[in-house]
């Protein structure tokens, strides 16, 4: 269910009971399209997040605290000027629409009390957060400025009069009685299917809510209006009326609908959805904010991770493509250079048969003394060179080829190491779970000289992401590196010699450390650590992934090796199949590091 009128109504009710009359202590803008307000109310602190993201617009109380930019954006500075220190005097939903209006009373520059309105419009790609001077109904600014070039009817710019979004001609469902509910539907095109008629004619009713009304009325949602009888109209009205009464009386039941097998979240709602019963599991919550945070946090994070990783992924993939091509070319050069022995033989055979060759010959056939069968060999000649010069030419080519073999072999090793390095980087980009993970990968590539430093986006005081930390079934702490530098840190500095080190065999991935505390590590913990190593590798979706493990004392870093690159000995190999169930079980036991 999208954030429809029912969900927004539940949000407004929750905000009214939690932050109404609260004081706005701090204002932040962690994303270009998102604000965060720290509010103190009745002795408690609340953090309100409002997002105008095109994909995940929302408003709710949150427990997460995103990292803020070093320099606050202009909209954030304006918000601080007008709202910080202000008191929330009203919170309401406009006409059962997806619009939340928060009134904030504060002193202006002249020391007079004034009311500013924070208007949050939750409308997909048209979502916006707008700050308005209530007395004059003038826009002070918005998180997304909309000029006349984009919308002639409704400009959202500083100094412009605030105009409500265009009326879609829908009826407010909270104001309908039985008679005008029937008249509304009967006035529609009678070939329209029922659930579509409900959500296109009623404000704040989403397709899912419309289907739910049909379900409660025991009607097929795709029945045409023309086929409704007076009895079915009655059933439909009572189902609709009962739902609206629950909204009026604020009897919400916030819930998530999840798949029975993999627990993937399918939907969310502020009321129980009967048409999902038996098909999916329903998990209820005490707070609609908890539902929205659970649903949107991971979805929004994945969207932002995807957006932020696009250029990194492109750079790494292009680097890999170049290296793969280089490897192919070097292989061809090596095969050509390995023919150097033929050049030596040609030179010696020509030297032994100079009397048979005349200047101007383009080839000569001589007995091959190096062939056990005593056969002949046809040797190409340069017609412009004398017989002796042709022989010297082949000796020189032999010498160059011998040198080339060594150089090509060296370049091959370097290319293979770079490929291994970039394949590791690609795995870390794919497995990133927070924005900081991608920032750390970018910093590493800058430090290694692959990327240029961004002047305006570098924060010297910005912290690094911490490694993942799990607790095994036997109580052992397991650490997982999230990038190459973390891998080095865990293996070479954090771990002790007796700790166990895990890594997928010949597959790019994370270093995994079991902190043994000099105790014998049980078999179950070894299996769980191996599963973590497989899960955080390129073999994540494979079966029977080979994982090598050994004591940390057997792992070392060669001189000059790139970050994350190590060699090891005296290891054992275990085969595991990465499983979300195992990871989830361990995740539930995770402690912050």
Q: Mind listing the pLDDT tens digit of every residue in the chain (593 residues)?
A: 568 999 999 999 999 999 999 999 999 999 999 999 999 999 999 999 999 998 889 999 999 888 898 899 999 999 999 999 999 999 999 999 999 999 999 998 888 999 999 999 999 899 999 999 999 999 999 999 999 888 888 999 999 999 999 888 999 999 999 999 999 999 999 999 999 999 999 999 999 999 999 999 999 999 999 999 999 999 999 999 999 999 999 999 999 998 887 677 889 999 999 989 889 999 999 999 999 998 887 777 778 888 889 999 999 999 999 999 999 988 887 777 777 778 888 888 999 899 888 888 999 998 888 887 778 989 999 999 999 999 999 888 888 777 777 888 888 888 999 999 999 999 999 988 888 899 999 999 999 999 988 665 444 445 577 899 999 999 999 999 999 999 999 999 999 999 999 999 999 999 999 999 999 999 999 999 999 999 999 999 899 999 999 999 999 999 989 999 999 999 999 999 988 777 777 765 554 33
The candidate with the shortest Cα–Cα distance to 315, out of 450, 486, 510, 485, is 450
The whole-angstrom separation of Cα 50 and Cα 29 is 10
The whole-angstrom separation of Cα 187 and Cα 519 is 78
Give me 273's structure tokens. 């959805």
Q: How big is the CA angle at 315 (ends 313 and 321), to the nearest 5 degrees?
A: 100
Other CB atoms within 10 A of residue 227 CB? 13
Phi first, then psi: what are they for 155, rounded to 5°? -80, 135
Q: Is the dihedral of CA 414, 417, 419, 425 positive or negative?
A: negative
Helix (H, G, I), strand (E, B) or coil at 120: strand
Question: Where are the extended beta strands (E) located within 52-112?
Answer: 58-61, 87-93, 99-107
The whole-angstrom separation of Cα 216 and Cα 209 is 11
Look up residue 162 and give its DSSP letter: P
Query: How would you label 328-346 residue by residue, b for 16+ Cβ within 10 Å and e otherwise?
Result: eebeebbeebeebeebbbb
Contacts of 523 (CB under 8 A, 6+ apart): none
SS3 assignment for 510-532: CCEEEECCCCCCCHHHHHHHHHH
Domain over 173-284 is classified CATH 1.10.8.50: yes
Residue 550: which H helix or E strand, with range? strand 545-551
The whole-angstrom separation of Cα 439 and Cα 164 is 40
The whole-angstrom separation of Cα 332 and Cα 404 is 12
Alpha-carbon Rg for the chain, nearest whole angstrom, is 35
Alpha helices in 111-260 (DSSP H): 178-186, 194-201, 207-216, 230-248
Q: What local confidence, expressed as pLDDT, does residue 507 receive? A: 94
Helix (H, G, I), strand (E, B) or coil at 295: helix
The candidate with the shortest Cα–Cα distance to 158, out of 172, 143, 169, 173, is 143
Contacts of 358 (CB under 8 A, 6+ apart): 387
Residues in the chain: 593
Contacts of 417 (CB under 8 A, 6+ apart): 561, 562, 565
The candidate with the shortest Cα–Cα distance to 22, out of 103, 135, 96, 139, is 103
Q: What local confidence, expressed as pLDDT, does residue 591 receive? A: 42
Look up residue 490 and give its DSSP letter: I
The candidate with the shortest Cα–Cα distance to 530, out of 557, 561, 509, is 509
The whole-angstrom separation of Cα 369 and Cα 307 is 67
Look up residue 227 and give its DSSP letter: G
Beta carbons of 568 and 544 less than 8 angstroms apart: no
- Please state the CATH superfamily assignment of the domain spanning residues 5-142 in this structure: ibrinogen binding protein from staphylococcus aureus domain (2.30.310.10)
Phi first, then psi: what are they for 131, rounded to 5°? -105, 125
The whole-angstrom separation of Cα 327 and Cα 302 is 34
Give me 342's structure tokens. 């033929």
The whole-angstrom separation of Cα 231 and Cα 237 is 10
The whole-angstrom separation of Cα 230 and Cα 325 is 74
Beta carbons of 209 and 4 less than 8 angstroms apart: yes
Question: Where are the extended beta strands (E) located within 381-489?
Answer: 468-471, 477-480
Beta carbons of 590 and 470 less than 8 angstroms apart: yes
Q: How big is the CA angle at 140 (ends 137 and 143), to the nearest 5 degrees?
A: 120
The candidate with the shortest Cα–Cα distance to 86, out of 142, 150, 134, is 134
Domain ranges within the chain, ordered by starting residue: 5-142, 173-284, 307-464, 468-588
Q: How big is the CA angle at 331 (ends 330 and 332), to the nearest 5 degrees?
A: 90
Beta carbons of 146 and 155 less than 8 angstroms apart: yes
**580 strand-pairing partners:** none
The whole-angstrom separation of Cα 475 and Cα 345 is 68
Give me 435's structure tokens. 């924005």
The candidate with the shortest Cα–Cα distance to 347, out of 388, 376, 384, is 388
Other CB atoms within 10 A of residue 566 CB? 16
Alpha helices in 87-229 (DSSP H): 178-186, 194-201, 207-216
Q: What is the CA 513 to chain-centroid distance, rounded?
A: 25
Beta carbons of 83 and 37 less than 8 angstroms apart: yes
């Amino acid at each position: 269910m999208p954030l429809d009128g029912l969900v927004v109504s539940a949000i407004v009710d929750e905000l009214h009971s939690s932050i109404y009359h609260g004081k706005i202590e701090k204002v932040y803008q962690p994303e270009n399209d998102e604000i965060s307000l720290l509010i103190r109310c009745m002795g408690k602190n609340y953090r309100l997040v409002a997002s105008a993201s095109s994909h995940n617009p929302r408003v709710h109380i949150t427990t997460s605290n995103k990292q803020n930019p070093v320099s606050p954006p202009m909209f954030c500075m304006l918000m601080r000027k007008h709202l910080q220190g202000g008191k929330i005097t009203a919170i309401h939903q406009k006409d059962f629409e997806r619009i939340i209006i928060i009134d904030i009373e504060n002193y202006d520059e002249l020391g007079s009390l004034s009311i500013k309105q924070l208007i949050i419009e939750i409308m997909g790609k048209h979502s916006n957060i707008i700050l308005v001077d209530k007395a004059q109904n003038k826009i002070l600014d918005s998180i997304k400025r909309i000029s006349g070039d984009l919308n002639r009817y409704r400009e959202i710019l500083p100094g412009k009069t605030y105009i409500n979004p265009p009326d879609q001609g829908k009826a407010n469902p909270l104001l309908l009685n039985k008679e005008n509910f029937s008249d509304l539907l009967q006035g529609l095109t009678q070939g329209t299917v029922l659930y579509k008629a409900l959500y296109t004619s009623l404000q704040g009713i989403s397709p899912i809510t419309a289907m739910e009304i049909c379900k409660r009325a025991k009607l097929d949602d795709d029945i045409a209006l023309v086929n409704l009888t007076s009895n079915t109209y009655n059933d439909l009205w009572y189902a609709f009326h009962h739902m609206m009464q629950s909204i009026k009386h604020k009897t919400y039941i916030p819930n998530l609908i999840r798949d029975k097998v993999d627990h993937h979240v399918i939907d969310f709602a502020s009321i129980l959805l009967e048409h999902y019963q038996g098909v999916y599991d329903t998990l209820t919550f005490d707070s609609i904010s908890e539902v929205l945070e659970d649903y949107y946090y991971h979805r929004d994070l994945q969207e932002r991770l995807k957006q932020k990783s696009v250029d990194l992924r492109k750079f790494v993939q292009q680097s890999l493509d170049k290296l793969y091509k280089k490897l192919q070319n070097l292989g061809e050069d090596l095969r050509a250079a390995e023919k150097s022995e033929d050049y030596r033989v040609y030179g010696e055979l020509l030297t032994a048969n100079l009397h048979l060759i005349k200047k101007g010959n383009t080839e000569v056939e001589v007995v091959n003394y190096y062939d056990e069968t005593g056969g002949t060999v046809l040797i190409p000649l340069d017609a412009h060179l004398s017989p002796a010069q042709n022989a010297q030419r082949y000796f020189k080519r032999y010498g160059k080829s011998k040198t080339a073999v060594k150089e090509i072999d060296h370049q091959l090793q370097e290319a293979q190491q770079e490929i291994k390095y970039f394949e590791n980087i690609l795995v870390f980009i794919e497995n990133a779970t927070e924005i900081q993970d991608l920032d750390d990968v970018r910093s590493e590539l800058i430090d290694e000289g692959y990327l240029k430093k961004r002047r305006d986006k570098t924060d010297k005081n910005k912290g690094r992401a911490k490694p993942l930390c799990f607790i095994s079934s036997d109580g052992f702490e397991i650490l997982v590196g999230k990038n190459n530098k973390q891998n080095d840190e865990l293996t070479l500095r954090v771990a002790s010699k007796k700790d166990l080190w895990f890594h997928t065999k010949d597959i790019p991935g994370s270093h995994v450390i079991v902190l043994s505390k000099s105790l014998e590590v049980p078999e179950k913990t070894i299996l769980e650590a191996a599963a973590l190593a497989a899960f955080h590798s390129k073999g994540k979706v494979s079966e029977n992934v080979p994982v090598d493990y050994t004591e940390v004392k057997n792992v070392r870093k060669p001189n000059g090796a790139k970050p994350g690159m190590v060699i090891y000995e005296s290891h054992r190999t275990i085969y595991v199949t990465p499983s979300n169930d195992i990871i989830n079980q361990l995740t539930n036991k995770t402690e912050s590091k």
